[in-house]
């Protein structure tokens, strides 16, 4: 048998770790809180990167690269920013065998170093907008870490844009929120709720933080991407002004936005099952795996047949692997490739060979169908899209089933306790938000756009005061 | 006028810095020795990455990602390795507000952390070969830095492979040397000498280091890529053994190989001229720029015509920019886009418009030709390939003109003094190598394959002792 993984029902967190380790997506490293992303995991990141990078470029952004190490004093220039990140910093104190005059922090995020450069590059409205993205590693000293979801070092992209007007910057922050939403839904097959964060949950240094929130199979929320309208906070901290078209001087308006390798964790947790990884086809590095089913007499012929099918699919531009091993049984191989999350299994046995056919087996449903080999180059892409849609639909049904609207605190507590998302009226008071968090561990994930209107006439779930929002509450990663 | 750059003849190093800064390829950062790679520079790196990554995958390698931070003790496990890298380390001593029990170094290269993982992953010959590459940032504390060529932080790729036999590992190290040579010649238009490094010049921890060496326009050598056969050094340091097919236990054999953002510096230095950057078309992010030539009455029509040409070229899959600005003169724009290194200028004026033509101007030679718009989608790719070939030929002619074979030390010293590469007989003595370096600043760049045969009957250039090698000497970056 292929390696066993702990069933979800027995331990959700062991199930997750088992999939990550046994599908060889990542491994623990000797450096506390840091993981190694193994080839099968990194290939998913490459798929995510290639789609997102295209979407960023289609919306006018260019990539650049800024230093890893940031003078410690830079973080102090924006008061909320330093307060937010100070507890998480890794600090370089020695370089080239000598103590540094000023310590350098390993970037936890790059607003400060980037805005110190924008000061050099921006003088006039003609230099705006400046639409830059960076693919990079960042380090945040985390006390409790989890593979992919929260690691001391992680890979991400961080967009940093500069604009002449408040409106344009706000538009950009929303544009990128929608790029993330679209990417999550169409590529990761993750339905998301989206909107803005409350004051207590927003990014350190932002005026407004927007996020997308997905439900995992344990009914907890996972923040899958954030986009920040930074106002003029960083422009003021780094004194970045520009000459407006009218000739006056103004501070530049800013946004930043990012997603990380955490998305891989989200995808694993949202779609996988007790047999292992389930991957949305659009981000699956391998779309199909060919497994020959040998009988003792037919090993050579069936292997040749498998190779012909492999060649045909590869020529058609499909990304295919083939498992020609003749030691392990077909059943063992089926389990192994299911564990690895390849969306389609292509079985070819002696009888299929005679009929010039193959059997396609879906990873998501187990459904089988026999198809002529000549039809495979058309059938497989169609089937991949069906799987993609099924995964999205399944995740959405699950989420909707576990998302409730309530108006009384007892129901609220019960649902949060059982697991699920709760929309509930909220007064807008940070004290209420804090007390609910303390009592239930649920936080406000987002305030959806237009939620205020729906709150009219409702009463705060905790205090009964007039509600100003319908907020989405959940326990989260 | 577009911004002036210092002529090569006045100051080669100012010329280089001017191109980097004024073509907006990179900028100095507030962190000592670290640079910012700006979008126009980073786009070149993206081209380099995409071609190399494909070549790595075609030779069976997969990408992965290992931690940035390495326990300091790991470097001490391989004696030569720690000696080589200790003076260059950046050290993290504090994390999350507390002093670390063991300092972590920011990776200067990843052999140690990777081999600590290979110990977990390799048990049997069935786990081999392991062919992994990583795209990453690294930090080496450099005393004297130069944009692109030597920076404290730089971007690179590092391949790390593990093999069951010495022969297979040696083959791999040579395979990757040839991948680098091919990439340098066919994509960067850089002719290179290649071979192995002497003992004193090899990588700290390697058994053999191979490199490719290109000549810059100041006739100095630039090491553009290295591939190392590491023997069993790291396997022994990290106790990585495997069960052989015969059932015995053996240490694993290793290679590592890398190229970095230094390649961008090499390309700039090898091909550019006094008008600015010259880029080989195959790594030019923008292949052609369309510049409308307006007369006062024709601005709108010519702009429309330019847009039509732009649409046609973009549809044909070409990467094109367009400069529709109507404030700057055509001459100003010509200079600006020459500075930026776009290989082909497409001029469209009122007369071209009448004839449905455009004038193509080569960045490398200034040569012009009028072409029907309908023919552009075929003509431009052909012209780009001509430019690619011309740049290679020009660089090769220049290099060959300044590469000499000598047998007497006076000629040797004169050529090194004037600038150039010198092949000369060498006894193989490290003392001779050191004395030549001290007296002339020239180092042995490589010992070409088969050089030993050519040395037969020759005498060492310095001592007159019997020569064992014909070595390539040069001053270098
Ligand atoms: Zn501080
Ligand atoms: Zn030490």
- Report the first-to-last Cα separation within chain B, whole angstroms: 33
CB contact under 8 A, A120 and B27: yes
Question: Which pLDDT value is given to residue A450?
Answer: 97
The 10s digit of each residue's pLDDT in B119-128 is 999 999 999 9
Distance CA(A295)–CA(A311), nearest Å, equals 22
Across B130-270, the runs of DSSP E, i.e. the strands, are 130-139, 153-163, 192-196, 208-215, 221-231, 241-243, 249-251, 253-260
Distance CA(A269)–CA(A396), nearest Å, equals 14
CB contact under 8 A, A113 and B29: yes
User: How close does chain A come to B86, measured CA to CA in Å?
Assistant: 8
User: How close does chain A come to B166, measured CA to CA in Å?
Assistant: 24
Mean local confidence (pLDDT), B214-229: 98
| DSSP-derived secondary structure letter, B428 | -
User: What is the residue-wise DSSP string for A250-311?
Assistant: EEPEEEEEEEETHHHHHHHHHH-BTTB----GGG-S--EEEEE---GGGHHHHHHHHHHHHH
Please state the φ and ψ torsions of residue B344, each to the nearest 5 degrees: -130, 135
Query: What percent of chain B has a predicted confidence (pLDDT) above 70?
Result: 99
Long-range contacts of B101-105 (CB under 8 A, 24+ apart): B102/B71, B102/B72, B102/B73, B103/A94, B103/B72, B104/A31, B104/A90, B104/B69, B104/B70, B104/B71, B104/B72, B105/B69, B105/B70, B105/B71, B105/B72, B105/B75
Distance B36 CA to ligand 1 centre (A): 24
CB contact under 8 A, A64 and B36: yes
Burial class (CB in 10 A: 0-12, 13-18, 19+), B178: middle
CA B107 to chain CA centroid, nearest Å: 20
Mean local confidence (pLDDT), B318-331: 94
Is B153 at the interface with chain A, CB within 8 A? yes
Cross-chain CB nearest to A34 (options B69, B136, B155): B69
Distance B106 CA to ligand 2 centre (A): 13
User: How close does chain B come to A195, measured CA to CA in Å?
Assistant: 31
| DSSP-derived secondary structure letter, B459 | B
Cross-chain CB nearest to A95 (options B46, B64, B90): B90
- Its sign, for the CA torsion B435, B439, B444, B450, is negative
Is B104 at the interface with chain A, CB within 8 A? yes
Length of chain A: 477
Residues 309 through 328 of chain A touching chain B, CB cutoff 8 Å: none
CB A240 within 8 A of CB A119: yes
Q: Which of B477, B454, B474 is nearest to B402 (CA)?
A: B474
Is B464 at the interface with chain A, CB within 8 A? no
**B-chain residue closest to A101, CA distance:** B32
CA B245 to chain CA centroid, nearest Å: 39
Question: Which pLDDT value is given to residue A81?
Answer: 86
**B-chain residue closest to A131, CA distance:** B39
B416 CB neighbour count, 10 Å cutoff = 23
The 10s digit of each residue's pLDDT in A138-155 is 999 988 999 999 999 999
Is A127 at the interface with chain B, CB within 8 A? no
User: How close does chain B come to A27, measured CA to CA in Å?
Assistant: 9
Distance CA(B42)–CA(B54), nearest Å, equals 18
Is B155 at the interface with chain A, CB within 8 A? yes
The 10s digit of each residue's pLDDT in A262-320 is 999 999 999 999 999 999 999 999 999 999 999 889 999 999 999 999 999 999 999 99
Question: Which pLDDT value is given to residue B2?
Answer: 55
What would the 3-class secondary structure string for B127-142 be? HCCEEEEEEEEEECCC
Look over chain B and give the mean of its residue pLDDT values, rounded to a whole number. 97
CA distances from B273 to B3, B283, B403 (A): 14, 17, 21
The 10s digit of each residue's pLDDT in B379-393 is 999 999 999 999 999
- Report the first-to-last Cα separation within chain A, whole angstroms: 33
With a cut of 60, say whether residue A52 has pLDDT above it: yes
Query: What percent of chain A has a predicted confidence (pLDDT) above 90?
Result: 96
Is B75 at the interface with chain A, CB within 8 A? no
Contacts of B45 in chain A (CB under 8 A): 65
Q: Which ligand is nearest to the CA of A102?
A: 1
- Its sign, for the CA torsion A362, A366, A367, A372, is positive
The 10s digit of each residue's pLDDT in B114-154 is 999 999 999 999 999 999 999 999 999 988 999 999 999 99
Contacts of A110 in chain B (CB under 8 A): none
B429 CB neighbour count, 10 Å cutoff = 14
B95 CB neighbour count, 10 Å cutoff = 22
Peptide bond into B106 cis (omega under 30): no
With a cut of 70, say whether residue B460 has pLDDT above it: yes
Is A472 at the interface with chain B, CB within 8 A? no
The 10s digit of each residue's pLDDT in A373-382 is 999 999 999 9
Is B31 at the interface with chain A, CB within 8 A? yes
**What's chain A's Rg over C-alpha atoms?**
25
Structure tokens at B291: 């510049």
Mean local confidence (pLDDT), B91-101: 95
CB contact under 8 A, A90 and B94: yes
Distance CA(A443)–CA(A453), nearest Å, equals 21
**What's chain B's Rg over C-alpha atoms?**
25
CB contact under 8 A, B153 and A42: no
User: What is the residue-wise DSSP string for A411-477?
Assistant: HHHHHHHH--EEEEEE---HHHHHHHHHHH--EEEEEETTHHHHTTT-B-TTT-SBP-EEEEEE-B-
Distance A231 CA to ligand 1 centre (A): 24
* pLDDT tier, A2 (very low <50, low <70, confident <90, very high otherwise): low
Is A66 at the interface with chain B, CB within 8 A? yes
CB pairs under 8 A between A and B: 168
The 10s digit of each residue's pLDDT in A355-367 is 999 999 999 999 9
Distance CA(A280)–CA(A342), nearest Å, equals 9
CB contact under 8 A, B88 and A96: yes
CB B422 within 8 A of CB B404: yes
* pLDDT tier, B477 (very low <50, low <70, confident <90, very high otherwise): very high
Cross-chain CB nearest to B117 (options A27, A63, A66): A27
Is A73 at the interface with chain B, CB within 8 A? no
A250 CB neighbour count, 10 Å cutoff = 16
Q: Which ligand is nearest to the CA of B87?
A: 2
Distance CA(A146)–CA(A150), nearest Å, equals 5
Contacts of B66 in chain A (CB under 8 A): 29, 36
Distance CA(B384)–CA(B319), nearest Å, equals 12
Predicted complex ipTM: 0.96
* β-strands B443-448, A320-322 pairing: unpaired
CB B266 within 8 A of CB B225: no
Contact partners, residue A80, CB within 8 Å, separation at least 6: A204, A205, A233
User: What is the residue-wise DSSP string for A27-51?
Assistant: EE-SSTT-EEE-HHHHHHHHHHHHH
Is A153 at the interface with chain B, CB within 8 A? yes
Mean local confidence (pLDDT), A82-97: 93
CA distances from B31 to B69, B215, B253 (A): 19, 30, 39
With a cut of 80, say whether residue B313 has pLDDT above it: yes
Distance CA(B295)–CA(A474), nearest Å, equals 64
Query: What percent of chain B has a predicted confidence (pLDDT) above 90?
Result: 96
Return the bridge partners of B473, or none.
B422, B444
Distance CA(A150)–CA(A261), nearest Å, equals 9
Look over chain A and give the mean of its residue pLDDT values, rounded to a whole number. 97
CB contact under 8 A, A66 and B36: yes
With a cut of 50, say whether residue A1 has pLDDT above it: no
Interface test with B, best of A21, A28, A30 (most B CBs within 10 A): A30
CB A261 within 8 A of CB A148: yes
- Its sign, for the CA torsion A292, A298, A302, A304, is positive
Question: Which pLDDT value is given to residue A4?
Answer: 86
* Between B79 and A257, residue with greater pLDDT: A257
The 10s digit of each residue's pLDDT in B16-52 is 999 999 999 999 999 999 999 999 999 999 999 999 9
Please state the φ and ψ torsions of residue B114, each to the nearest 5 degrees: -70, -40
Burial class (CB in 10 A: 0-12, 13-18, 19+), A151: buried
Is B87 at the interface with chain A, CB within 8 A? yes
Distance B115 CA to ligand 2 centre (A): 18
CA B193 to chain CA centroid, nearest Å: 14
Distance B63 CA to ligand 2 centre (A): 30
Cross-chain CB nearest to A63 (options B36, B46, B92): B46
User: How close does chain B come to A181, measured CA to CA in Å?
Assistant: 26
Structure tokens at A444: 């406000």
Contacts of B136 in chain A (CB under 8 A): 137
Distance CA(A131)–CA(A134), nearest Å, equals 10
Is A87 at the interface with chain B, CB within 8 A? yes
With a cut of 90, say whether residue B1 has pLDDT above it: no
With a cut of 80, say whether residue B159 has pLDDT above it: yes
Exposure string over A86-118, b if 16+ CB within 10 A, otherwise e: bebbbbbbbbbeeebeebbbbbbbbbbbbbbbb
Supply the pTM of this predicted model. 0.97
Residues 46 through 65 of chain A touching chain B, CB cutoff 8 Å: 46, 62-65
| DSSP-derived secondary structure letter, B252 | P
Is B38 at the interface with chain A, CB within 8 A? yes
Peptide bond into A129 cis (omega under 30): yes
Q: Which residue has the tokens 């422009």?
A: A235
Question: Which pLDDT value is given to residue A34?
Answer: 96
- Catalogue all structural domains in chain A, each as residue range(s) with its CATH number: 2-271 (3.30.930.10), 286-383 (3.40.50.800), 403-474 (3.30.110.30)
The 10s digit of each residue's pLDDT in A180-232 is 999 999 999 999 999 999 999 999 999 999 999 999 999 999 999 999 999 99
CB contact under 8 A, B90 and A74: no
Is B135 at the interface with chain A, CB within 8 A? no
Contacts of B67 in chain A (CB under 8 A): 29, 31, 34-36, 153
Q: Which ligand is nearest to the CA of B82?
A: 2
């Amino acid at each position: 048998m292929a390696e066993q993984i702990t069933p979800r029902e027995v331990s959700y967190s062991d199930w997750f770790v088992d999939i990550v380790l046994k599908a060889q997506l990542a491994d623990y490293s000797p450096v506390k809180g840091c993981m190694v992303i193994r080839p099968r995991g990194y290939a998913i990141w490459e798929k995510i990167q290639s789609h997102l990078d295209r979407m960023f470029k289609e919306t006018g952004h260019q990539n650049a690269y800024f230093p890893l190490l940031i003078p410690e004093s830079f973080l102090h220039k924006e008061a909320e920013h330093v307060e937010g990140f100070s507890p998480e910093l890794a600090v370089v104190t020695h370089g080239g065998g000598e103590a540094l005059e000023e310590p350098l922090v390993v970037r936890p995020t790059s607003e400060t170093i980037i805005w110190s450069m924008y000061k050099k590059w921006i003088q006039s409205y003609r230099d705006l907008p400046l639409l830059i993205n960076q693919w990079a590693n960042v380090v945040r000293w985390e006390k409790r870490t989890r593979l992919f979801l929260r690691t001391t070092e992680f890979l991400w992209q961080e967009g940093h844009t500069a604009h002449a007007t408040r409106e344009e910057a706000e538009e950009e922050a929303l544009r990128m929120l929608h790029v993330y939403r679209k990417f999550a839904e169409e590529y990761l097959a993750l339905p998301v709720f989206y909107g803005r964060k409350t004051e207590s949950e927003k990014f350190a240094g932002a005026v407004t933080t927007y996020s997308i929130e997905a439900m995992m199979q344990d009914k907890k929320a996972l923040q899958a991407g954030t986009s920040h309208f930074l106002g003029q906070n960083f422009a003021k901290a780094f004194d970045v002004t520009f000459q407006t078209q009218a000739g006056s001087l103004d501070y530049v308006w800013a946004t930043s936005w990012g997603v990380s390798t955490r998305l891989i964790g989200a995808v694993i947790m949202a779609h996988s099952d007790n047999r292992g990884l389930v991957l949305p086809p659009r981000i699956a590095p391998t779309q199909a795996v060919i497994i020959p089913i040998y009988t003792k007499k037919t090993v050579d012929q069936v292997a040749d047949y498998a190779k012909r099918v492999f060649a045909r699919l590869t020529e058609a531009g499909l990304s295919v692997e083939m498992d020609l091993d003749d030691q392990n049984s077909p059943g063992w191989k089926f389990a192994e490739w299911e564990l690895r999350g390849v969306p389609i299994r292509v079985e070819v046995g002696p009888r299929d060979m005679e009929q010039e056919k193959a059997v396609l087996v879906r990873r998501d449903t187990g459904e089988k169908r026999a198809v002529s080999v000549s039809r495979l180059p058309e059938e497989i892409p169609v089937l991949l899209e069906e799987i993609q849609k099924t995964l999205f639909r399944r995740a959405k049904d699950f989420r909707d089933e576990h998302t409730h609207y309530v108006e009384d605190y007892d129901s609220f507590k019960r649902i949060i306790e059982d697991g699920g998302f709760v929309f509930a009226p909220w007064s807008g008071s940070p004290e209420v938000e804090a007390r609910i968090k303390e009592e239930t561990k649920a936080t406000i994930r987002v305030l959806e756009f237009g939620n205020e209107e729906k709150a009219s006439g409702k009463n705060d779930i905790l205090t009964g005061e007039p509600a100003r929002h319908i907020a989405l509450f959940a326990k989260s990663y």
